[in-house]
Amino acid sequence: MTSPAYAHPDEPHRAGLAQRLNWLRAGVLGANDGIVSTAAVAVGVAGATSEVAPVFLAGAAALVGGAISMALGEYVSVSSQSDSETALIAKERRELAESPEDEFTELVGLYEAQGLSTATATQVATELTQRDALAAHLSAELNIDPDDIVSPWHAALASAIAFTIGALLPLATILLLPAPVRVAATFVAVLVALAVTGYLAAWIGGARRGRAVLRTVIGGALALGATYLVGTLFGTTIG
């Protein structure tokens, strides 16, 4: 869809913004969790044993379980949001049908509260009501776009796919490389991947990129270091 003439090219004026942000959020969270959680499990097991089979089984279990868990979590979370928005839309539609005069007065008051004069607020409310009364009230009262309700299925799918893709990187690294370098190489691969995802998320969202990269890299390094230490201690104890 073409952006309106008044829209700046670097600002999100396009329709469907909530859906896109929903996909982005779920995808970034899923990828980061897939990278960190799967790498942490694999590195922890690798710290306890040099055999490939236990590392593969633990990593595969972390990948499958994590992807399903992320998808379920996103579905439940976004479903709650979607159900709440749907209920609010139904309530507003009912109020417009039962007391349109009171709702119009409320709409004028909302525009006045934003700094418009009574005459201007009344004119704006009148024109928007004639065009789409429900959309006008939902936007002014609840900041809801009835055509842009987030989808729990989209969020669940994006999260599961992103988690799986993120998890495959550390799993492949630690399984394909020889024992002497597999842990160190996995550390490097994971931290580089986290830096990239942190940078991309900040770039797309317009946030500070350096801070986002630093945050994800430090968190990932702490998780990997802690699990490797635990695995090494258990491996030493068992051995």
Can you give the residue ranges of every domain in the chain?
Answer: 17-238
Task: Return the top range by mean pLDDT from 15-24, 32-41, 143-152.
Answer: 32-41
Q: Where are the alpha helices (DSSP H) in the chain?
A: 17-48, 52-98, 100-113, 118-137, 152-176, 179-205, 209-238
Question: In the numeric block, which tokens belong to residue 179?
Answer: 């024992």
For residues 110-115, give the mean pLDDT: 92
Instruction: Provide the pLDDT confidence category of residue 19 given band limits of 50, 70 and 90.
Output: low
pLDDT for 197:
85
Rounded Cα distance, 155 and 72, in Å: 10
Q: Which amino acid, one-letter code, is at 52?
A: V
For residues 188-197, give the mean pLDDT: 91
Structural contact between residues 197 and 216, judged by C-beta atoms closer than 8 angstroms: yes
Instruction: Select from 132, 126, 135 the least CA-distant residue to 104.
Output: 126
pLDDT of 12 higher than 60: no
Question: In the numeric block, which tokens belong to residue 113?
Answer: 């509260």
Give the DSSP letter of residue 142.
I
pLDDT for 234:
76
How close are the terminal C-alpha atoms of the chain, in Å? 63
Taking the model in full, what pTM does it have?
0.73
Instruction: Select from 193, 137, 164, 204 the least CA-distant residue to 70.
Output: 164
Rounded Cα distance, 168 and 164, in Å: 6
CB crowding 213-237: b at 16 or more within 10 Å, else e: beebbeebeebbeebbeebbeebee
